[in-house]
Amino acid sequence: MTFTSTTAVDLAAGIAAGDFSAREVTTAFLDRIAETDGELNAFLAVDTPGALATADAVDAARAAGEPLGPLAGVPVAVKDVITTEGLATTCGSRILEGWVPPYDATVTANLRRAGAVIIGKTNMDEFAMGSSTENSAFGPARNPWDTNLIPGGSSGGSAVAVAARQSPLSIGTDTGGSIRQPAAMTGVVGVKPTYGGVSRYGLVALASSLDQAGPFATTVADAAALHAVMAGHDPKDSTSIDAPVPPVVAAAANGDVTGMRIGVVKQLTGEGFQREVREHFQKSLDLLAAAGAEIVEVSCPHFEYALAAYYLILPSECSSNLAKFDAIRYGLRVGDDGERSVEQVMAMTREAGFGPEVKRRIMLGTYALSSGYYDAYYGQAQKVRTLIARDFAQAFEVADVLATPTAPTTAFPIGEKVDDPLSMYLQDIATIPANLAGVPGMSLPVGLDDKGLPVGLQFMAPAMADDRLYTTGAALEAAVGWEARP
């Protein structure tokens, strides 16, 4: 059996049935990482001893007849912005170099409880700012479809880990598109759950009102299995929703879209999207219609302002969240020679520890929040946010799920957009509205462009109706019959 081409659901079932051991599975993926990661750079840390210890514990529990968790023995790679007790967490930044978190994020704890094997920490744009993983302080991750290309970002390492089958599952975070866009660039399934559906406790904050962790997987059913394990109410996160987890696993197993109304967002289908992206989007709609769905057009007029509002709200929140990296409490400290003042040491540490994109956003956010400008920028952006949420509410009156292309283009060459922040920001034109409104979104692969690179399609659903993403996702996955591999 080739473990590295088996779904997570089948791996879990095989381990539970005793067809093979968790150690065999874990070893196969560790070997695959060792073989491929020199080139791909998807991992910032591989926890070989920890992974093998967990695998052995699963095998021992099974031998003793103890009940196993739903992901017992299945490797999961975790984005390096989520804390893992005893395992370094860098957020892709020099400023956290050497910091080993003394606690697990709730998501990490949930994985451990489910028996999952945490195989390592994945590469990312520094503090999750970016769409290409080129802003990592530890070098870019590379797209397994063509290693000259970016894998998307900011959760690029997590996307690559799954696309290159270095891990059957991984976790990313999505503040403006950082799960869905890299999923699209690498031909895998990626889901941003409803805001508040997955605990943010232990997720190092970029923009607290937008951040959400979610799954990457090769199939919709695998994504659902991981989603179900990650999600759930957490008293340690004040924005966590106290309600049952939407029935995502059942929805993924069903995939019946008969009579479902799928709304095509008129504002997100036009000229700004690469030709093949538009073509595959249209083909996918035809497949959904053939499967019994009703395709309707919806208008979301304020989506046009989403990017502008996001780039005020996000820098504002991140300039405040990143103030805690002060050279005293975590990681790096530069220039502390006993002579310099605390302020000088802080300034030198932040100058040396943060990369250019992080500095750009701290400056933008500090400006937007400064007195005299607060209402004009931050206040105005919050009003736009309300209008976008209203657009969604109106659209969901006539549609059960919305559909758009995930990203305007397929993967682009490393280096192409590094000097052009605006064109990088535009990668998230279709994904940012969901974050601003707190609604869930999924990207799944639906075709290849003329160069043979994956194209993604996005579904969005009302808050806490994440299961609808999995229903339409499963239907489209079956209709597309995606089999392409890098």
Catalytically active residues, by annotation: 79, 154, 178
Q: Which stretch binds ligand GLN (CB under 6 A): 32-40, 63-71, 125-133, 457-465?
A: 125-133
- Between vectors from CA 124 to CA 118 and to CA 126, what angle results, nearest 5°? 130
Rounded to a whole number of angstroms, the minimum distance from the CB of residue 131 to ligand GLN is 4
In the chain, the N- to C-terminal Cα span, in Å, equals 20
Neighbouring C-alpha atoms within 13 Å toward the C-beta of 171: 37
Tell me which residue has its CB nearest to ligand GLN.
178
- Verify binding: residue 129, ligand GLN, rule CB under 6 A: yes
For ligand GLN, the closer CB: 47 or 134: 134
* Integer-rounded Cα radius of gyration of the chain: 21
DSSP reduced 3-state for 98: coil
Q: Which stretch binds ligand GLN (CB under 6 A): 106-114, 122-130, 451-459, 461-469?
A: 122-130
DSSP labels for 415-467? Answer: TSSTT-HHHHHGGGTTTHHHHHHT--EEEEEEEE-TTS-EEEEEEE--TT-HH
- The pairing of strands 169-173 and 213-217 is antiparallel
Residue for token digits 């491929």? Answer: 36
Q: Which stretch binds ligand GLN (CB under 6 A): 169-177, 287-295, 387-395, 401-409?
A: 169-177
Residue for token digits 């869905």? Answer: 180
CB atoms near residue 60 (< 10 Å): 11
Rounded to a whole number of angstroms, the minimum distance from the CB of residue 155 to ligand GLN is 7
Residues 131, 319, 349, 406: which binds ligand GLN (CB under 6 A)? Answer: 131
Distance between CA atoms of 444 and 94, rounded to whole angstroms?
33
Helix (H) or strand (E) holding 254: helix 248-254
Rounded to a whole number of angstroms, the minimum distance from the CB of residue 355 to ligand GLN is 12
Q: Which stretch binds ligand GLN (CB under 6 A): 43-51, 110-118, 129-137, 368-376?
A: 129-137
- Give which of 290, 361, 293 is closest to 323, Cα–Cα: 361
- Give which of 398, 478, 420 is closest to 444, Cα–Cα: 478
For ligand GLN, the closer CB: 84 or 178: 178
For ligand GLN, the closer CB: 73 or 315: 315
- Between vectors from CA 222 to CA 14 and to CA 40, what angle results, nearest 5°? 100
Residues 47, 428, 466, 467: which binds ligand GLN (CB under 6 A)? Answer: 428
Burial level of 77, CB count in 10 A (0-12/13-18/19+)?
A: buried
Residues 123, 175, 269, 316: which binds ligand GLN (CB under 6 A)? Answer: 175
Rounded to a whole number of angstroms, the minimum distance from the CB of residue 144 to ligand GLN is 21
- Verify binding: residue 177, ligand GLN, rule CB under 6 A: yes
- Verify binding: residue 441, ligand GLN, rule CB under 6 A: no
Residues 26, 36, 133, 154: which binds ligand GLN (CB under 6 A)? Answer: 154
Q: Which stretch binds ligand GLN (CB under 6 A): 40-48, 127-135, 157-165, 319-327?
A: 127-135
Rounded to a whole number of angstroms, the minimum distance from the CB of residue 150 to ligand GLN is 12
For ligand GLN, the closer CB: 165 or 180: 180
Residues 141, 223, 314, 384: which binds ligand GLN (CB under 6 A)? Answer: 314
- The pairing of strands 441-448 and 454-460 is antiparallel
Q: Looking at 266-417, which runs of residues are DSSP E strands?
A: 294-298, 401-405
For ligand GLN, the closer CB: 224 or 430: 430
Residues 104, 126, 174, 400: which binds ligand GLN (CB under 6 A)? Answer: 174
- Verify binding: residue 206, ligand GLN, rule CB under 6 A: yes
Q: Which stretch binds ligand GLN (CB under 6 A): 26-34, 87-95, 170-178, 477-485?
A: 170-178
For ligand GLN, the closer CB: 37 or 428: 428
Tokens encoding 435:
């974050």
What residue type is 296 in one-letter code? Answer: V
Number of residues that bind ligand GLN (CB under 6 A): 13
Return the bridge partners of 76, or none.
118, 169
Name which of residues 316 to 375 contact ligand GLN (CB under 6 A).
Answer: none
Distance between CA atoms of 432 and 437, rounded to whole angstroms?
9
Residues that bind ligand GLN in the complex, under the rule CB under 6 A: 128-131, 154, 174-178, 206, 314, 428
